[in-house]
């Protein structure tokens, strides 16, 4: 089975964005009973996770694209070897 080097490195960042987006949706629409302040805190925390996850994903993607452009398939192969 071939391993996609880009997914090996970048997928965890995509996962953080996806899960934090779900958390934001849940905090906004499925608020548990209780003080409204808790809902606001959960929403703000989820928004921060989404924002920081997207920021990190963008930075890692830019570095990845730059290295692949400079070093080509050799870079990808090295990353797969390191991942194993």
- Quick one: pLDDT at residue 82? 75
- State mean pLDDT over 33-43: 72
- Quick one: pLDDT at residue 47? 93
- Name the percent of the chain lying above pLDDT 70: 83
Question: Tokens for 64?
Answer: 């990845």
Positive or negative torsion for Cα 17, 49, 76, 78: negative
- State mean pLDDT over 50-68: 94
pLDDT over threshold 80, residue 37: no
State the pLDDT confidence band at 34, using cuts at 50, 70 and 90: low
- Quick one: pLDDT at residue 35? 67
């Amino acid at each position: 089975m071939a391993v996609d080097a880009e997914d090996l490195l970048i997928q965890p960042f995509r996962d953080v964005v996806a899960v934090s987006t779900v958390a934001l949706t849940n905090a906004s629409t499925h608020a548990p009973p209780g003080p409204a302040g808790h809902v606001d805190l959960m929403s703000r925390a989820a928004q921060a996770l989404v924002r920081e996850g997207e920021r990190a994903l963008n930075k890692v993607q830019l570095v990845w694209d730059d290295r692949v452009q400079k070093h080509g398939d050799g870079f990808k192969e090295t990353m797969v070897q390191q991942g194993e």
